[in-house]
Amino acid sequence: MTVGQSAQRGPRWPGTIELNPIIATVTPFTRDYTVDTGALREYLGFLHRAGVPALFVNGTTGEFASLTVAERKKVLEHTRDQWPGYLIAHVGASAYGDAIDLLDHAHHHADAVAAIAPYFFAGPPDNGLHDYFGMLLARTELPMLLYNFPRHTQTPITPALLGTLAAEYPMLAGIKDSGGALDVTRAYTSTGLAVFAGSDSVAARIRELGVQGIVSGGGNPVPELPVRIAAAVRSADEDAAARWQAVFDECRTLRHDSGLSDIAFVKAALAERIPGFPVGVRSPLMRASDAESTDIRAHLRHKVLPRILEGQP
């Protein structure tokens, strides 16, 4: 298929499936920085036991930009083998051929796909983005989310572009918005597509914003928190949602105050929940030091986990 040939297949989004929260997974590495499939299996079991309904694999939190195409396929395959829930595979890449390769592979392993704007090409014109996403949307056999993260790509996906693509390609299901500008998030909702906010801070406010849920990287070491917030939102228990959100915000503050990258922090914190979980990240990121890891784990152990385990925010 070529640009302009709309894929006339399937519904825009499986609305009967509850996809809040979606956890953006990390990629654990061995000591020599190959993908650690054993640690991945234990980690996926931990998320499943916490009640997580859906995963976003090979995204920013998964260090996709540091992974080869072959490694991204390996992570997706191993995740599908172990994960019984809904699985969204991020297939975005700057090289269109890599994105197509990953998309075709995802057809056999995922329930939906997502694609970030091509990075490095800071500020390309909207018609160039339209062509890039149009090629993927015309080819996909799965519902597709676009992925807006202009802090990393220097390429915002405008609400106008999203609306134009939605009118042409029925397989465009929605957007994952990690831009942080709530006016843009609200504008996305006017397209009628599914919108997922990439911010832990709005987990209790999704009804107010008109979005379907959150995609959370920071929720990895404390998945019970976004799961409980989502349950409270569904049952219209605003008080419970706010109380659990306050605990989630405490975790966000700890993450921000650590001075670490979000990925390094999350991996260090996961080591408190999953004994022996590897905390290494690929350069140019830097892993948490032993002292930083000790402080993170102590805070979780003494100040956060007792409330989670006792069910009392």
pLDDT digits (tens, 9 = 90+) for 214-245: 999 999 999 999 999 999 999 999 999 999 99
For residues 239 and 162, give the distance between their C-alpha atoms in angstroms, rounded to a whole number: 34
Percent of the chain with pLDDT over 70: 95
pLDDT of residue 250: 95
* Portion of the chain with pLDDT greater than 90, in percent: 88
Structure tokens at 262: 């979000």
Residues in Cβ contact with 284 at an 8 Å cutoff, skipping those fewer than 6 apart: none
What pLDDT sits at residue 10? 54
Element (H, E) at 172: strand 172-177
Q: Which residue has the higher pLDDT, 119 or 17?
A: 119
Res 15 pLDDT > 80: no
pLDDT for res 123: 86
DSSP 36-51: -HHHHHHHHHHHHHTT
Q: How far apart are CA 100 and CA 104, in angstroms?
A: 6
Judged against a pLDDT cut of 50, whether residue 99 lies above it is answered with: yes
The pLDDT of residue 7 is 41
DSSP 213-275: EEEESTTTT-THHHHHHHHHHHTT-HHHHHHHHHHHHHHHHHHHHT-S-HHHHHHHHHHHHST
Instruction: Name every residue whose Cβ is closer than 8 Å to that of residue 281 and which is 6 or more positions away in sequence.
Output: 29, 63, 261, 263, 264, 267, 287
pLDDT of residue 156: 92
Higher pLDDT, 182 or 1: 182
User: What is the C-alpha to C-alpha distance for residues 30 and 306, in angstroms, rounded to an integer?
Assistant: 30
Is pLDDT of 111 > 60?
Answer: yes
11 confidence band (pLDDT: 50, 70, 90): low
End-to-end CA distance of the chain, in Å? 52
For residue 313, pLDDT beyond 90: no
Query: Taking Cα atoms as reference points, which of 79, 73, 61 lies closest to residue 23?
Result: 61
**Selected residue with higher pLDDT from 88 and 4:** 88
Residues 6+ apart with CB under 8 A from 42: 274, 277
Q: Which two tokens stand for residue 265?
A: 């922090």
Asked whether residue 153 carries a pLDDT value surpassing 90, the answer given is no
Residue 13 has pLDDT above 90, yes or no: no
Residue 32 has pLDDT above 70, yes or no: yes
- Of the ranges 13-27, 173-187, 211-225, which one carries the lowest mean pLDDT score? 13-27
Q: What is the pLDDT of residue 1?
A: 29
Q: Taking a C-beta distance cutoff of 8 angstroms, is the pair 62, 26 a contact?
A: yes
Res. 82: pLDDT tops 70: yes
Q: Which residue has the higher pLDDT, 312 or 104?
A: 104
Q: What predicted TM-score, i.e. pTM, was given to this entire model?
A: 0.94
Task: Read off the pLDDT of residues 117-146 as tens digits, 9 standing for 90 and up.
Answer: 998 888 889 999 999 999 999 999 999 999
| Residue of 167, 174, 113, 175 whose CA lies nearest to 150 | 175
Torsions phi, psi of 55, nearest 5? -125, 150
Asked whether residue 4 carries a pLDDT value surpassing 70, the answer given is: no
CA distances from 78 to 35, 45, 71, 88 (A): 10, 12, 11, 14
Task: Decide if 84 contacts 71 (C-beta within 8 A).
Answer: no
Write down the pLDDT at residue 6: 41
Helices 224-234, 238-257: axis angle to 10 degrees equals 150
